[in-house]
Amino acid sequence: MKVYKAFAKVNIFLKITGSRGDYHEIVSRFMVVKDLYDELSFVLKEEVDARENVFKIIGDFSCLTEQNTIYKAYLALKKATSSQALETLTQTHALKVKKNIPAFAGLGGGSSDAATYLKMCNERLDLGLSLSELAQIGLIVGADVPFFIYGYDSANVSGIGEVVEEFHEELLDIETYTPKVEISTPRVYKTYRENFYNPIDAFETQRLKEMKSIDALKEMNPFQANDLFESALQGYKELKQHHRSGFHFSGSGSSFFRVKSST
């Protein structure tokens, strides 16, 4: 049984550059957290389950299967490929997920799981899809999924998440801390648009895209680095008591992170 790792990520910085309809356009540096990951594997269904011919996930999830990003990835892949092999796999095997990445945390756990599932199916079923094609399917599931499809350690992500450009730099040893505050990303973005909307210009966007992550963390405080931090604090008052000195804020939260000390 092959086990696949679905890594977490942090947003070194996350800045709003504009809007596209109901969506916000961003520029963000995504970096993988190598010591935090979910574990995914295909396992044979019990005989009684196999007769049901339904998609089955085995794991500790708080949502219904229909709301799970992995299930949404399955539907998107099914629509894109009409693969009979995918249907056969779904009938005979369940997807087992060992969850280690906290949910509603700004660490990309759901997106990483969905991306990893798509790559697993592509490999196991010999679908022959390129990473670019998988990323297009993944974008239907969520804006962060393409980053995890490409598998870069560090990347500049822009647009609404569909533009992923590898950034060559040393992977930082990142420590994360996630308080038990479940944050709604749509709610945080709504609060941002109503109260804090102030997109950066093209010059600042380009400057950030060229900056090493370690330098960005040294130059910017948590409010400067993440445009969503203030709106998250406004929407979730209890979040303030969890912020520790030296920690930055990832995504729409609720996780904080810092580079581990070398001493």
Query: So what's the pLDDT on residue 23?
Result: 84
pLDDT at 48: 54
- 99 versus 48: the higher-pLDDT residue is 99
Catalytic residue among 9, 15, 45, 72: 9
Cβ 157 vs Cβ 244: under 8 Å: no
pLDDT of residue 161: 87
Is residue 22 annotated as a catalytic residue, yes or no?
Answer: no
Query: Do 40 and 117 touch, CB atoms closer than 8 A?
Result: yes
Domain boundary pick from 144, 166, 188: 166
Active site residue 9: yes
262 — pLDDT class (breaks 50, 70, 90) = low
pTM, full prediction: 0.93
* Cβ proximity of 12 and 255 under 8 Å: no
Residues 74 and 190 in one domain: no
The per-residue pLDDT for range 116-153, each reduced to its tens digit, is 999 999 999 999 999 999 999 999 999 899 999 999 99
Q: Quote the mean pLDDT of the chain.
A: 93
pLDDT of residue 263: 41
pLDDT of amino acid 21: 84
Does residue 220 sit in the same domain as residue 112? Answer: no
pLDDT at 193 over 70: yes
Residue 197, pLDDT above cutoff 80: yes
User: Which of 72, 113, 119, 144 is the catalytic position?
Assistant: 144
Amino acid at 73: A
Greater confidence (85 vs 160) lies with 85
**Which of 166, 189, 219 is the endpoint of a domain?**
166
Distance separating alpha carbons of residues 145 and 35, to the nearest angstrom: 19
Fill in the DSSP letter of residue 66. G
- Residues spanned by the domain of 104: 4-166
d(CA 230, CA 7): 27
Say if residue 99 is in the same domain as residue 182.
no
Same domain? 104 vs 134 = yes
Q: Cα–Cα distance between 140 and 36 in angstroms, integer?
A: 25
Assign residue 184 the CATH number of its domain: 3.30.70.890
Looking at the structure, tell me whether residues 140 and 64 fall in a common domain: yes
* Residue 128 and residue 40 share a domain: yes
Q: What CATH code is carried by the domain that includes residue 141?
A: 3.30.230.10
Residue 40 bridge partners (DSSP): 4, 97
Same domain, 116 and 33: yes
Which residue reads 């990347």 in tokens?
155
Residues 22-41, mean pLDDT to the nearest whole number = 96
Q: Are residues 131 and 184 in the same domain?
A: no
Kindly state the percentage of the chain with pLDDT values over 70.
97
Confidence of residue 102 (pLDDT cuts 50, 70, 90): very high
Average pLDDT over residues 182-187: 90
Q: Residue 41: exposed, middle, or buried by beta-carbon count in 10 A (0-12, 13-18, 19+)?
A: middle
**Lowest-pLDDT range, 51-60, 75-84, 120-129?**
51-60
Residue 51 has pLDDT above 70, yes or no: no
Q: Looking at the 3D structure of the chain, how many domains does it have?
A: 2
Among 166, 184, 214, residue at a domain's last position: 166
Are 102 and 204 contained in the same domain? no
What pLDDT is attached to residue 9? 98
How confident is residue 63, by pLDDT bands cut at 50, 70 and 90? Answer: confident
